[in-house]
A and B are shown apart, each in its own frame.
Chain A
Amino acid sequence: MDAVRATGLVKRFGATTAVDGLDLVIAAGEVRGLLGPNGAGKTTLLRMLFGLIRPDQGAVELLGHRLDHLGGDVLEAVGGFVEEPCFYPYLSGRSNLKLLAKLDGGSAAAGQIDEVLTRVDLAARAGDRVSGYSTGMRQRLGLAAALLRHPRLLLLDEPTSGLDPAGTRAVAKLVRELAADGVAVLLSSHQIGELEKVCDSYTVVRHGRAVWDGTAAELDAQAPGSAYALFTSDDTHALDLAARIQGIRIQRAARGGLAVAARQAQMDELVVALGDARVLIRRLELVVSPLESMFFALTTEHDDVALDALEPQQLADTILAGA
Chain B
Amino acid sequence: MTALAPTAPVDRPQPGLSDGVRNSYETELSKLMAQLTTRILLLVCVLGPFAFAAILKVQSGTPSDALFGFWVHSSGFAVSLVILGFAASWGFPIIAGVLAGDLFSSEDRHGTWKTILTRSCTREDVFAGKLLAVAALVVGLMLVLAASSLIAGIVLVGAHALVNLSGVLTSAGRMFALTVVSWLICLLPVLAYTSVAILFSVATRNGILGVLGPLLVALITQLLDLIGKGVIVHELLIGSAFDGWHGLFTSHPYFGQLIVGGVVSVLWIAACLSASWAIMRRRDFLSGVSGQGPSWTAPVKVVAISIAVVAALALGCSLGPTGATASRVSNSIGRVFNNATLLQQQLIGRRVPPNAHLYVRPECYRPGAQAAGPGDWSCYVYVFLPQANSVPYQLQQVDYDVSVQYNGCWKAQSPPAFVGNATMQDAAGRSVANPLFIVYGCFNIF
Contact = CB atoms under 8 A, between A and B. Distances in A.
Interface in A1-56: 47, 50-54
Nearest to B3: A173
A119 interface: yes
Contacts of A75: 118-120
Contacts of B288: 82-84, 86
B292 to A, nearest CB: 9
B115 A87 contact: yes
A277 interface: no
B10 A90 contact: no
A46 to B, nearest CB: 10
B6 A118 contact: no
A177 B6 contact: yes
Interface stretch (A94-102, A248-256, A301-309): A94-102
Contacts of B10: 112, 150
Interface in B113-143: 113-125
Contacts of A273: none
A68 B125 CA distance: 14
Contacts, number: 155
Given A103-B24, A150-B7, A87 B112 contact: yes
Interface of B: 1-10, 12-15, 19-20, 23-24, 26-27, 30-31, 34-36, 110-125, 281-282, 284-289, 291
Contacts of A167: 1
B117 A89 contact: no
B-side interface mostly: loop
A70 B277 CA distance: 12
* Leading 5 A-B pairs by shortest Cβ distance: A170-B1, A86-B111, A72-B122, A53-B284, A105-B15
Contacts of A173: 1, 3
A106 interface: yes
B34 A91 contact: yes
A105 B12 contact: yes
A76 B113 contact: no
Contact of B110 (A70, A83, A87, A120): A87
B130 to A, nearest CB: 12
Interface in A62-114: 68, 70-73, 75-76, 78, 80-91, 95, 99-100, 102-106, 112
B114 A71 contact: no
A119 B2 contact: yes
Contact of A95 (B34, B120, B287, B289): B34
Contacts of B116: 100, 103
Interface of A: 47, 50-54, 68, 70-73, 75-76, 78, 80-91, 95, 99-100, 102-106, 112, 115-116, 118-121, 140, 145, 147, 149-150, 166-167, 170-171, 173-174, 177-178, 181, 183
A17 B438 CA distance: 71
B2 A118 contact: yes
Contacts of B284: 47, 52-54
Contact of B115 (A68, A145, A181): A145
Given A88-B110, A178-B6, A103 B1 contact: no
Given A47-B114, A70-B122, A178-B6, 9 more contacts: A50-B118, A83-B114, A83-B291, A86-B112, A90-B35, A118-B4, A149-B119, A150-B10, A170-B1
A57 B36 CA distance: 44
B147 to A, nearest CB: 28
A106 B31 contact: no
A73 B15 contact: yes
A47 B288 CA distance: 11
B7 A73 contact: no
11 contacts: A47-B114, A50-B117, A51-B117, A52-B114, A81-B114, A81-B118, A83-B111, A95-B30, A103-B116, A119-B4, A145-B115
Given A102-B27, A118-B4, A171-B1, A51 B13 contact: no
B3 A73 contact: no
B13 A105 contact: yes
B13 A106 contact: yes
Given A86-B289, A105-B13, A71 B24 contact: no
Interface centre among B115, B284, B285, B287 (most CB of A within 10 A): B115
A178 B7 CA distance: 10
A71 B123 contact: yes
Given A104-B12, A119-B2, A178-B6, A89 B118 contact: no
B366 to A, nearest CB: 54
A162 B145 CA distance: 47
A67 B19 CA distance: 20
Q: Which of A102, A149, A181 has the most CB of B within 10 A?
A: A102
A177 B4 CA distance: 9
Contacts of A106: 12-13, 23
A239 B384 CA distance: 130
Nearest to A170: B1
Given A53-B284, A95-B34, A170 B120 contact: no
Nearest to B19: A105
B291 to A, nearest CB: 8
Contact of A84 (B13, B121, B289): B289
Contact of B114 (A50, A105, A112, A118): A50
Contact of A183 (B6, B27, B30, B125): B6
Contact of A99 (B31, B35, B281): B31
Given A70-B281, A99-B27, A150-B9, A105 B122 contact: no
A115 B7 contact: yes
A170 B281 CA distance: 39
B13 to A, nearest CB: 5
B239 to A, nearest CB: 33
Contacts of B112: 86-88
Contacts of B123: 70-71
Contacts of A112: 7, 10
